[in-house]
Amino acid sequence: MNWKHQVGLEIDARRAVLEQMALTIGNNPELGFAEVKAARLLSGVLEEAGFQVTRGIAGLETAFRGVLGQGRPNIALLCEYDALPELGHACGHNLIGTASVGAALGLAPSLEQLGGRITVLGTPAEETGSGKVILVNAGCFADVDAAMMFHPAADNLLMATSNALDAYEFEFTGKAAHAADSPEEGINALDGVIALFNGVNALREHLPDQARIHGIISEGGQAPNVVPAKAAARFYIRAPRRAILNDITAKILKVAEGAALMTGTAVRWHEFELGTDHMLTNQGLALAFGSNMQRLGVEDIEEFAEGMGSSDMGNVSQVVPAIHPYLSIGQGLVAHTPKFARASVSEGGLQAAVLAAKALAYTAVDLLTDPLLLQAIQEEHTRRKESEQL
Ligand SMILES: [Zn+2]
């Protein structure tokens, strides 16, 4: 039996359903943790196809799990479906959920004969809330053998690095006073924030090349004639590895303490979003996905590139073999722009979602039918986790 051919035909037969799903989610953008309609649509389609669906997993209303089959291997297909404020689906997450559900629908009729289990996980709030971190911490990947998804982009790309990320808010407290009449009575909280930025900028000279630190002043006082009693800043801090990032973040916390000391303010900090870990792309699994792309007629696939952003898929890749390949939905596109949002509901976007569904499903067939491949990717995962700890 040519399982891939069979699975491909099943996906083609459901093309209209998949396109409708991508367009419905794409044209009704919902923000992270509020993707109620999208989660209901995707999980409902799975339920109709015979998947056993649980909604609201890991304490998240818009997370879900759909399971078909039993035993091992257990292959996870991950859905994202959150949008961006103002821009809508400018990261094309409507296509991610569609592709993973599409792959699952294609595999479903053959799964009993293929053996093993398919678990579709609905993972909310990739953009701002790191839903996958919550799912990882809740043990949702405990019996998963491999996790896969695709992401829309300008170009086809198998493996990209992504940075570990910390998100910190610093709140400085001082003392209000009339800025002209009695400035000597005041303690300027904004000075604390400015000292923090200057200290961070001095630190940059001594950081690894690929570190990224970007901050905003989220509160800077109310009026120029009042010494600000409160001021705050938010920073994203990124580095290629979690261990390197921990070191940088610790230094920035020291800078914040120093900024408070030199300005006579008090400072408190907290993580305003969950941090994420760097991506550990499983090469064996990525190459299997790549050869399936070629089988589907895609020739222009770049193998590796450095990515400077961050994703909660990084945390998944730390606990199970995982891939996060990119498929083109239009040349020259830049993510998080209105043009990208239009592409995510265009013919090119829909084609990419169907192509991704097939490549994901073919790769799942590889994992379900080739125990040596499964063993190799798991050994690679263990080996790389061990070497990173040295
Ligand atoms: Zn994205």
For 211-259, write each residue's pLDDT tens digit. Answer: 999 999 999 999 999 999 999 999 999 999 999 999 999 999 999 999 9
Other beta carbons within 10 angstroms of residue 155's beta carbon come to 15
Report CA(116)–ligand 1 centroid distance (Å): 29
Instruction: State residue 248's pLDDT score.
Output: 98
Report CA(93)–ligand 1 centroid distance (Å): 6
- Indicate if 22 and 34 belong to the same structural domain: yes
What is the domain-level CATH number for residue 12?
3.40.630.10
Report CA(363)–ligand 1 centroid distance (Å): 22
* Confidence check: pLDDT of 142 > 70: yes
- Indicate if 9 and 150 belong to the same structural domain: yes
Report CA(213)–ligand 1 centroid distance (Å): 20
Instruction: State residue 1's pLDDT score.
Output: 77
* Confidence check: pLDDT of 345 > 70: yes
What is the domain-level CATH number for residue 248?
3.30.70.360
- Indicate if 245 and 324 belong to the same structural domain: no
- Indicate if 220 and 294 belong to the same structural domain: no
Q: Which of 242, 276, 310 is the last residue of a domain?
A: 276
Report CA(125)–ligand 1 centroid distance (Å): 10
Of 247-256, 323-332, 381-390, where does mean pLDDT reach its minimum? 381-390
Q: What is the mean pLDDT of the chain?
A: 97
- pLDDT band of residue 175 (cuts 50, 70, 90) is very high
Name which residue leads in pLDDT, 390 or 380: 380
What are the tokens at 210? 């690929």
Exposure class string for 290-311: b at 16+ Cβ within 10 A, else e: bebbeeeeeeebeeeeebeebb
- Indicate if 111 and 16 belong to the same structural domain: yes
Q: Which of 224, 258, 276 is the last residue of a domain?
A: 276
Query: If you ran DSSP here, which 8-state letter would residue 175 be given?
Result: B
Report CA(215)–ligand 1 centroid distance (Å): 21
Report CA(338)–ligand 1 centroid distance (Å): 14
Total tally of structural domains belonging to the chain: 2
- Indicate if 7 and 47 belong to the same structural domain: yes
Helix 371-389 with 283-295: angle, nearest 10 deg: 140
- Indicate if 177 and 250 belong to the same structural domain: yes
- Indicate if 10 and 129 belong to the same structural domain: yes
As a whole number, mean pLDDT of residues 208-213 equals 92
Report CA(127)–ligand 1 centroid distance (Å): 7
Q: Which of 250, 276, 302 is the last residue of a domain?
A: 276
Report CA(390)–ligand 1 centroid distance (Å): 31
Report CA(37)–ligand 1 centroid distance (Å): 19
The range of the structural domain enclosing residue 200 comes to: 165-276
- pLDDT band of residue 371 (cuts 50, 70, 90) is very high
Report CA(90)–ligand 1 centroid distance (Å): 8
Report CA(10)–ligand 1 centroid distance (Å): 27
Report CA(375)–ligand 1 centroid distance (Å): 30
Instruction: State residue 257's pLDDT score.
Output: 98
Q: How far is CA 35 from CA 29, 261, 310, in A?
A: 8, 43, 21
Report CA(387)–ligand 1 centroid distance (Å): 29
- pLDDT band of residue 390 (cuts 50, 70, 90) is low
What are the tokens at 109? 């009729």
Report CA(153)–ligand 1 centroid distance (Å): 9
- Strand, helix or coil at 187? strand
As a whole number, mean pLDDT of residues 128-135 equals 95
Report CA(309)–ligand 1 centroid distance (Å): 10
Largest CA distance in the chain: 87
Report CA(126)–ligand 1 centroid distance (Å): 7
Report CA(293)–ligand 1 centroid distance (Å): 21
Report the alpha-carbon distance of residue 9 to residue 13 in Å, rounded: 6
Report CA(151)–ligand 1 centroid distance (Å): 7
pLDDT in tens, 38-94: 999 999 999 999 999 999 999 999 999 999 999 999 999 999 999 999 999 999 999
- Host H or E run for residue 131: helix 131-137
- The vertex-317 CA angle with 313 and 320, nearest 5°, equals 130
